[in-house]
Amino acid sequence: MSRIDDRSNREPEAPEVIRAFYHAFEQRDVALLRKAVTEDWQYIPTLAPNSAAHGAEQMAAIFVRMSEAFPDIRIEILDVVANAQKVGVRAQVSGTQEGQLFGIAGSAKPVRFAIHSFHELRDGLIAKTWHLEDWLSVFQQIGEFPGAQR
């Protein structure tokens, strides 16, 4: 009888630069992010189209807001699909909404939501990221939507 390799309880294999990228987001550390992305790294959708910040520096304000909203944030990589130039990642974010999030006051509610990213690599670093987050499920878990009348 052959034994089936059960990977369901193990994190999928990912290039080290991808692990470093998600670790930087989990730690909300721009210095760590600089080690994973190119100087001209593009993040899509653009966070602040009129901002002079580029590369890893464009995340500084986002990291502050993430720290306030989810001080205990965790990112778990669930799936990785890769070739020589691109890496697709399906991951899960979890944390407790302690601070303001899109105008919604801290709720102390735990949330868990999906993120999906595709990364283009250049010279061993991430040069471009296309990223989507499931904010609808976050608002459903919190029980409030941005701009909703109280």
pLDDT at 117 over 90: yes
Domain harbouring 48, CATH code: 3.10.450.50
Domain annotation covers residue 9: no
Domain membership of residue 82 as a residue range: 16-142
Domain annotation covers residue 112: yes
Please answer whether residues 142 and 117 qualify as being in contact, where contact means their C-beta atoms are separated by less than 8 angstroms.
no
Domain annotation covers residue 3: no
Q: What is the pLDDT of residues 40-83, one digit of tens each?
A: 999 998 766 666 678 899 898 889 999 999 999 999 999 999 99
Domain annotation covers residue 1: no
Number of domains in the chain: 1
CB under 8 Å to 23, separation ≥6 — which residues? 32
pTM of this structure: 0.84
Domain annotation covers residue 76: yes
Domain annotation covers residue 44: yes
Domain annotation covers residue 114: yes
Task: Please write down the long-range contacts of 78-81, taking CB distance under 8 Å and 24 or more positions apart.
Answer: 78/12, 79/12, 80/12, 80/13, 80/14, 80/18
Domain annotation covers residue 10: no
Q: What is the pLDDT of residues 75-114, one digit of tens each?
A: 999 999 999 899 999 999 999 999 999 999 999 999 999 9
How many CA atoms lie less than 13 Å away from 100 in the CB half-sphere?
6
